[in-house]
Structures are given as structure tokens and as C-alpha cells.
Structure 1
Amino acid sequence: MGERRNDGLMALFFFVVGLEIKRELVVGELQDRRAAMLPALAALGGVVLPAVLFLLVVGGGPEARGWGVPLATDIAFAVGVLALLGSRIPAGVKLFLLSVAIVDDIIAVGIIAVAYTDSLEHGWLLAASAGLIVVAAMRRFGVASILLYVPVALFVWYATLHSGVHATIAGVVLGLMTPARPVSGRDVLGDLQHGLHPISAFLVVPLFALANAGVDLRGGALGDAAGSSVAWAIVVGLLVGKVVGIGGATWLALRLGIGTLPSDVPPRLVWGVAALAGIGFTVSLFIADLAYTDAVQVTQAKVGVFAASTTAAVIGSGLLVTLTRRSRG
């Protein structure tokens, strides 16, 4: 029951992520290939280097299965921390962070689908595909009522859950299939984002955190985590890997003339954005539960995620405030 609850919560979470991705791809920052190139390369650097560093720290064995834990950025928490800094931070910083995090999560979703999927049940997979075809047909005939899509979407999620492909993929695919432009005069995507984003941010994420983030630190668990290669690999991946990967890839791309930053974002602020991207939290906790079955390793991974995400929030905020002052000074 707990696993089904997690799958349901995260399918809704990733559906909202899918909506954000679709809007950015069709009418947002990522529709312009040149504008999209820089955050795409930055995100790629922020995925590859954390994975490499994680594997270098753990050195192989069953611990290596958690290589996906430090890859994803928690969009809600990273943007939330940025919002706390207020108007003192240029608006373009949020745009760049959001673009990087969205590409980052596209890669993370692909990794979940490939690396953390069990054996496939082809009958259920065909059923899920049939449900998606029904959704596409409804779109083709101009069905704009969101309520009519709900039972089909639930069927797609249920079939995907039993297919062996992780059910969160159903959420992303359904989000990407949502029309970004008005249907019969109705902004379906906008209505869904407006209605579901608060539920995802203020209900789904906290419920998931309460259900999964609890770490029993009794019995020397904290000391075990401090001496654990898994915990340290996650910390190094989310802190060093994200900062150097995103910051380095952005610096190199700008030097080569590939892509541009928003006009109000000096290049030095990228390092603050890169640090905030080390806030993995929700997605990292989710992948940790997929990667490990041993309770001790799960606890070690969660301690690493908490430590790294908290540190990333503090360092990223400090860098952005300090570097913004210097830029204006």
C-alpha cells in the first residue's frame, strides 16, 4: 500500500513537471533552440559529473546502484529558496534556474524509466499505450473538458504501474500530451497548472516527504552515515558535481559562443544557480527508494540527500546574494 501511495503521489508530481516542460518547450524559454542550448548543456554537465563522482566515491558494488540519486534538481524547493531571496536577485536567474532544472528532470525521468524499471509486462504496456492513444484521439477531436480526461489518465497510470515501467513516467507523458495552446478557447494547460501546482507543491511534496523522508537516527545511524560511501557520494555529487558540472558547462558554452544567458544575468551568478541546483530533496529521495532495498543503505542515502540539499540551499543563497551585490557595486 505504501509503495502504491508513493507511485500515485509522484505520478501527480511528475505530471505537473510534464506540464511545465510542455509549456517551456512550446511557448516558453526552451522553444528557441539557441536559448534552450545553454540550459540544456548546463543541465547535461550537472547530470554527468555528479554520476561520475558518485561512482568514483562508492567504487562499485551494490552501492553503485544509487548513481541516479544526485542527478535531479528539485524544482519546487530550488525555486522556493530563490523566491525567499526576493527582488534583490535578477528575474533572469529564476528563468535560467527553471530552464536548467526542467532539462535536468527530463534526463532524470529517462533514467528512472531505463535504470530503475523492473521486467516489462507487455500486456499492461500495450494497455497503457492504448490509453495514451485515446487521449491523443480526444485531443484530435477538440475535447477541452479536463474531467473527461481524468478516468483515461487514471487508467493509463494503473496500466503503467503494472507494466513494469515506473508509473511516474505516465505522469510525465500525460503532461507532455497536454495542449499548450488553447483548445476550443480554453487554456487547458494553464488551467491544469493553476489548479495542480499548489496541490503538488503544498500537499504532494510534503506528504511524500512525511511518508518517505523519516530517518531513524538512533543506534548510531548518523555515525554510520558519516562513515558511509553512499552518503558521501551523494553529498559530493549534489554539491561538487552540480556546481562544477553546471557552472563549468555554462562557462565553456559561453566561451564557445553557444547560447546566451538572460540579459540581466551576469555570468558569475551562474555559480549561485549551480549551487541551488544541488537541492535534490524530493526527486533524490524518490530515486534512493528505487535504487536500494537494504534499509541501512536507504537511511545512509537519505542522510546524504538531506545534508547536501540543506548545504546547497545555504551556499546557493549566499553566493547569489553576494555576487549580485558585487555585480551592482
Structure 2
Amino acid sequence: MNLHQFRFVQEAVRRNLNLTDTAKALYTSQPGISKAILELEEELGVDIFVRHGKRLKRITDPGQQVLKSVEVILREVANLKRIGEEYSKQDAGRLSIAATHTQARYVLPEPIAQLRKRFPKVTVSLHQGTPAQVAAMLMDDSADIGLATESLAEFDELVTLPCYEWQHMAVLRHDHALAGVERLSLEQLAAEPLISYHPSFTGRRRIDRAFEQRELTPTIALEAIDSDVIKTYVRTGLGVGLVAEMAAKDEPPGSELVFKPVSHLFGHNTTRVAFRKGAYLRGYVLTFAELLSDRLSRHLIERAMAGAGDSYEL
């Protein structure tokens, strides 16, 4: 058995058992992949996949166990490469970050700029996606570190740590009837068309739960994943926006928008930083995590990665 066979098996699973897509992803031939997987099965003495003709239909029970071992082996191979790069290339390499749009737009610019000053030979790759996509990028080693508010703590394959807390802000045109109200109520917001995040982004679940608990049914005029889009449509008069407080920080003086804190309605949200369990974190990855929050330290992260627990209070 060899690493090529392991990679073929792993990628076939990632590609929903489609060997054509697997071959394209790995820049090789479909017959070559089929042959390699068959040879691995023969050597192991078990079928990893159930087949219908030449097509893979599902993973067998022993195949599930094989896949777990394959993932561990390939993860450790990746760790060996990182360890080699750590000591051979010193402060050079690539930092791959997966984050939601809000984090990428409002939170990451300053830490990335600071990292580049400290490690000018490190190239940064920034990938944006949904919280679930952020988790997936971490789990398949496409990213070294992930940042999101929703979902990350739900994946057993990840080590997650709280990074910082934030609240939602209501955003209104300065001439809106509610612009002069000091403390908004759920009833007032429910009576307005609302412009908010898609349910999978930026604390939207907390907003929905607050209305449900009060048996209120707000009118959602528009859903978006981008805070700037929400603010743009508020400017057109479409409705009242609900955005993360980070999105209010770059509004210029004299803006036509008014921002009002609504933590008394929706509580506080926790953005979490995440790493794949068992991953070897190069020095600049740990430094970047420390730049994200003064609550994160190299010692804390190394303890969590070593299995000392990942439930840390802010």
C-alpha cells in the first residue's frame, strides 16, 4: 500500500464517489484510480466500496474504518511537511485563512497587516464562505485557521476557541421615524421591513429566536451575507437593517445612517477561531491567532490542540 492509494480513496469520498471528478481533481486518469483502489482492497482483504458495475455506490462498514485510518495517516503526512517547512524555511510559507464575509471584511485586515509586517515572507490566502464551508476547508486541510460566529463548535473534528464577543446593531436612515428612539423594542422592529443576514450567517439564528420567543413574526424584506449590501439597501429606504457592530465602525462622519445597539434584544454573539484536530500549527499560525484576540495565547491554543479541552470562557 502507498500514499497515492490513500489519497485516491480519500478524494473519491470527498467527490461523492465520482471517479471522473476524482481523477480531474488529482490530475490523473480514472482507470488509474480504479486500479489503485482495487489493489488496496486486495491487499487489505476487504472491500472499501460497494460497486455497481464500475461505479462506486457507497462505503462499506470496513471501508468506514479504513477511511478513518487513511485520514489520520494523510493528516500526519501533512504535519510532517509542515514540521519540515517550519525548520527548513523558518519564517516563510503560506497562511491559509477561512472566514465568513463579515470577518474577512471587518476583522481580519488589521491582524493580517500586522502578520505581514512580522513575517514578510509569509503569503496569506484568504477564503470566504459560509460557516459550514469554513469548517469544511479546515477539515480537508484547505485552511490552517478558521473564523466564524455560527456552527464551528458543532464539528467534532475541530478544536474551537472563543475569540471575541460582539452585538448586533440596528441601522436606519437618519430620517427614519425610529432614528430618534433611544432604546428600540422588538415590537417596533417587527413592525418594520427588516434587512438582515442569511440565516446561516453572523448571528441570524439569535435574531430569529428572539422574535419567536415573543411570538412576533417580522417581515424580512431582504437577506444578504454582506453587511455592506445590507447598509446599501437601508440607504435606499427599503427597511431597517440588522448588522454586526463591526460594520458600523467604518462609517464616515456625517453618514446618512444611524446605528443603534440592540444587545438588549438579541444578546451577544461569540466569534470562534478553529483549527483541525491533530494539525501541526506553524509558528506564524499561532502568532496570527494571538493577533486576532488578546484572549488567545500560544499556550492556550497548544493546550487545546493537545486535548486539554476547548471550552474556554471569554
* Fold similarity call, TM over 0.5: no
| Greater C-alpha radius of gyration | 2
Report the structure, 1 or 2, having the larger strand content. Answer: 2
TM-score, with length taken from structure 2: 0.29
Q: Which has the higher contact order (CA 8 A, sep 6+)?
A: 1
